[in-house]
């Protein structure tokens, strides 16, 4: 039995359709990702899974329960890390966790024990009795994660957990999420960072404008929708319009972006040699492996982060 099962799930806000019929399943113990740009419908979907926003149409089941009927029961087994922190800035770290634990009707003493343990887990034990307000963004995110674990959830929902964090803070957070996966927690995460999805997720769906445009493992999606390597070229601003046509024979596919040209090829270095042979002299060139960014570009014709 999947932890989350969605069949043709829609969400509308008046005229606007935020989620336009999505189907997916998340298995127990899986780290599942929803990758897409802002406005793809990821957060709306998360709020439906979190049983706070009712499904407009379609069928959604979590722990094989119906959110409309058993919302409270589902929420008692789930942890939520919202996109924007809603910690109580005036209270201490410990007080925040205890207060949140009380919402689950966990006895006060038990709340305090769990809170101490979880502050240890997110490496904030030394700040237990200081106020939340002066913490850095990364620390607040970690505290929010600790808070979401107060009820020892089977399923953890993370809505863009690392948006706005510096690389160092992101890595600390990723490492903690790995640990949770090791402990058997099922994780569902939304992100618009392709590296995050690639690093963390066992499986993911790529979302665009309320729809799922692809589904698979990060590696599988890249293999399926892109070439092994990509040659990135930076050309003069006076690049002739026919550049795509001229480069076409070199790679399997060419994408002309406002600031660069991408040549999709199995062997990037060989492709670069061919570019030189054609008499095209790029200002700069870079050969890299294909990423989910390329998958997204392929599927939607747009970049993830704009």
Considering beta carbons, is residue 104 or 121 the nearer one to other proteins? 104
- What is the rounded distance in angstroms from the CA atom of residue 256 to the CA atom of residue 234? 10
Q: Half-sphere exposure of 133 toward its Cβ, with a 13 Å CA cutoff? A: 4
Give CA–CA dist 115/121, Å, rounded: 10
Q: Minimal distance in Å, beta carbon 306 to other proteins?
A: 26
What tokens appear for 73 in the block? 């029961």
Nearest distance from C-beta of residue 50 to other proteins, angstroms: 6
Within 13 Å and on the Cβ side, how many CA atoms surround 200? 33
Taking the complex as a whole, the smallest distance from the CB of residue 175 to other proteins amounts, in Å, to: 19
Q: How far is the CB of 281 from other proteins (least distance, A)?
A: 55
Q: Which spans of this chain sit near other proteins (rule: CB under 8 A)?
A: 13, 50, 52-54, 71-73, 75-77, 80, 82, 84, 86-91, 95, 99-100, 102-107, 151-154, 183-185
Report the residue number, 154 or 202, with the smaller CB distance to other proteins. 154
- In what helix (H) or strand (E) does residue 234 lie, and over which residues does it extend? strand 229-234
CB nearer to other proteins: pick between 53 and 226: 53
Q: Of 259, 263, 254, give the one whose Cα is nearest residue 236.
A: 259
Contact 221, 51 (CB under 8 A): no
Dihedrals φ, ψ of 181, to 5°?
Answer: -60, -40
Name 245's Cβ contacts closer than 8 Å, sequence gap at least 6. none
Nearer to other proteins, 118 or 221 (CB): 118
Tell me whether residue 23 or residue 202 sits nearer to other proteins (CB atom).
Answer: 202
CB of 106 to other proteins, least distance (A): 8
**Residue whose CB is less far from other proteins, 52 or 257:** 52
Q: What does the alpha-carbon distance between residue 42 and residue 190 come to, in Å, rounded to a whole number? A: 6
Could you tell me the smallest distance in angstroms from the CB atom of residue 217 to other proteins? 24
Pair of tokens at residue 125: 């034990």
């Amino acid at each position: 039995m999947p932890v989350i099962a969605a069949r043709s799930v829609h969400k509308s806000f008046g005229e606007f359709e935020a989620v336009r019929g999505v189907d997916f399943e998340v298995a127990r113990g899986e780290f599942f990702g929803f990758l897409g740009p802002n406005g793809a419908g990821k957060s709306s979907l998360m709020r439906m899974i979190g049983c706070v926003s009712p499904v407009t149409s379609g069928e959604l089941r979590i722990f094989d329960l119906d959110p409309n009927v058993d919302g409270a029961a589902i929420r008692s087994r789930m942890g939520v890390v919202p996109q924007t922190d809603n910690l109580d800035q005036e209270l201490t770290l410990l007080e925040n966790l205890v207060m949140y634990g009380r919402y689950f009707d966990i006895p006060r003493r038990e709340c305090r024990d769990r809170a101490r343990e979880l502050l240890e887990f997110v490496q904030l034990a030394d700040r237990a009795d200081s106020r939340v307000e002066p913490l850095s963004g990364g620390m607040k995110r970690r505290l929010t994660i600790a808070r979401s674990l107060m009820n020892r959830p089977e399923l953890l929902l993370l809505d863009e957990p690392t948006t706005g964090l510096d690389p160092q803070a992101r890595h600390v957070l990723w490492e903690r999420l790995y640990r949770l996966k090791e402990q058997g927690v099922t994780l569902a995460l939304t992100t618009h960072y392709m590296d995050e999805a690639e690093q963390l997720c066992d499986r993911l769906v790529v979302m665009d404008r309320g729809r799922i445009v692809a589904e698979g493992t990060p590696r599988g999606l890249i293999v399926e929708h892109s070439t092994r390597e990509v040659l990135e070229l930076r050309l003069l601003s006076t690049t002739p319009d026919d550049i795509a046509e001229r480069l076409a024979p070199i790679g399997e596919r060419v994408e002309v972006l406002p600031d660069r040209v991408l040549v999709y090829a199995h062997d990037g270095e060989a492709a670069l040699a061919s570019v030189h042979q054609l008499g095209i002299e790029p200002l700069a060139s870079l050969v890299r492996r294909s990423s989910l960014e390329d998958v997204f570009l392929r599927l939607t014709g747009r970049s993830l982060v704009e």
